[in-house]
Amino acid sequence: MKRIMLCFVICLLVIAVRGQSAGNYAIVIHGGAGVMDQKSMTPNMQAEYLAVLNRVLQVGDSVLANGGTCLDAVEKAIIIMEDSPLFNAGKGAVFTHDGLVELDASVMDGKTLKAGAIAAVRDIKNPIRVARAVMEKTEHVLLNGAGASQFAKEQGFNPVDNSYFYTEKRRKQLDELLKKEREAGVNDKHGTVGCVALDKYGNIAAGTSTGGMTNKKYGRIGDSPIIGAGTYANNETGGFSCTGHGEYYIRLGFSRDISALMEYKNLPIQEACRAEVEKLSQLGGTGGVIGLDRKGNIAMEFNTSGMFRGYIKSDGEKKVMIFK
Ligand code: ASP
């Protein structure tokens, strides 16, 4: 009897020391960061975005409340945003220089440090699903282009025509950028979706999905499918999903660096994210990051004027926001 009591006390202590109150869960999402002017976004437009973000949180919350895993929550949340034409992921993704849509996505499991990603795919309706299949069904982490499409077909995902992803809004953005490029040489369009979830079992997963940047050229691949840049998850620190000018995120090893700041410097998640965004600013990059640690602490940091974002926790605390 004494032994059983001792075991029980030790278990409680381990849980307390690790800071996990068993059963708590949380989910945080983003729908891209960028130049968002409160005046130029009509109230209707704002309401549309907020409605989708709310729906995503509601679905994520119900997955986690019903005992679903963080990976299921991340996948389900991201699929909704991929299917919405509002975001730069799946349907509604931005156009490449050649007027096509090429998608990147990744997912990481913070318990096992397993990860899966696909890059530059043109015919996969929900890239996040295939990224997860890469993680769970292959010995690889990142598949690109034709190989990724072949793998998706073999896994039973029906290909879609590239035109499925097209929207008038994104075509206009490309045309405007091409015009500006001819005049000055700029590229400044953001927008991506991401999710980090902590489940009742204390596990963390993160995922990101994107069309990349408008007017991207030569098979350009951004940070979103690069583990440690746009996506990272580790139960010991936290999970992260990024949005912004991908080249800077790759150069900084952005999300892995946040995890390292937490691991080696013992920084709380918000401070670590803020410090990393500061590094981004110093390099001249723009964007944001969402993060979630094993205690359910949330970070949503960015250096742009806005980031579509929100979170919900098992105690009912919830926020959905667009502007700074
Ligand atoms: N990070 C994405 C990329 O560079 C774009 C974005 O988040 O807006 O591909």
Rounded CA-CA distance 308/10 in Å is 42
Atom of ligand 1 nearest to the CA of 221: 9
32 lines ligand 1 (CB under 6 A): yes
CA dihedral 248, 253, 258, 263 (to 10 degrees): -160
Among 310, 293, 290, 294, which residue's Cα sits nearest to residue 57?
A: 310
User: From the CA atom positions of the chain, what is the Rg in Å?
Assistant: 19
Rounded CA-CA distance 67/200 in Å is 7
**Which H or E run contains 225?**
none
222 lines ligand 1 (CB under 6 A): yes
Tokens of 66: 């019903």
| Residues annotated as catalytic (active site), given as ranges | 192
244 lines ligand 1 (CB under 6 A): yes
Amino acid identity at 109: D
pLDDT of residue 181: 62
> What phi and psi values does residue 286 have, to the nearest 5 degrees?
-130, 150
Among 41, 111, 29, which residue's Cα sits nearest to residue 74?
A: 29
214 lines ligand 1 (CB under 6 A): no
Rounded CA-CA distance 241/226 in Å is 11
Summarised one tens digit per residue, pLDDT across range 178-212 is 777 655 544 445 579 999 999 999 999 999 999 99
Across 146-174, average pLDDT: 95
Beta strands 142-144; 103-109: pairing state:
unpaired
Across 98-113, average pLDDT: 98
Summarised one tens digit per residue, pLDDT across range 205-248 is 999 999 999 999 999 999 999 999 999 999 999 999 999 999 99
State the distance from the centre of ligand 1 to the C-alpha of 255, rounded, in angstroms: 14
Summarised one tens digit per residue, pLDDT across range 55-85 is 999 999 999 999 999 999 999 999 999 999 9
209 lines ligand 1 (CB under 6 A): no
Is the pLDDT score of 25 beyond 90? Answer: yes
In the three-class reduction of DSSP (H, G, I as helix; E, B as strand; rest coil), residue 21 is classed as: coil
Among 187, 224, 188, 219, which residue's Cα sits nearest to residue 206?
A: 224
291 lines ligand 1 (CB under 6 A): no
Per CATH, domain 25-323 is 3.60.20.30: yes
Rounded CA-CA distance 263/261 in Å is 6
State the distance from the centre of ligand 1 to the C-alpha of 250, rounded, in angstroms: 11
Helix axes 43-65, 70-83, angle to 10 degrees: 150
Nearest CA to ligand 1 atom 4: 246
Among 263, 292, 262, 284, which residue's Cα sits nearest to residue 275?
A: 262
Residue-range domain boundaries for the chain? 25-323
Is the pLDDT score of 20 beyond 60? Answer: no
Summarised one tens digit per residue, pLDDT across range 270-308 is 999 999 999 999 999 999 999 999 999 999 999 999 999
Count of CB atoms within 10 A of residue 315's CB?
10
Across 114-140, average pLDDT: 98
CA of 308: how far to CAs of 96, 148, 238, 244, in Å? 23, 29, 21, 12
State the distance from the centre of ligand 1 to the C-alpha of 249, rounded, in angstroms: 9
Count of CB atoms within 10 A of residue 53's CB?
28
Nearest CA to ligand 1 atom 7: 243
In the three-class reduction of DSSP (H, G, I as helix; E, B as strand; rest coil), residue 272 is classed as: helix
State the distance from the centre of ligand 1 to the C-alpha of 267, rounded, in angstroms: 26
Nearest CA to ligand 1 atom 8: 190
Rounded CA-CA distance 263/96 in Å is 38
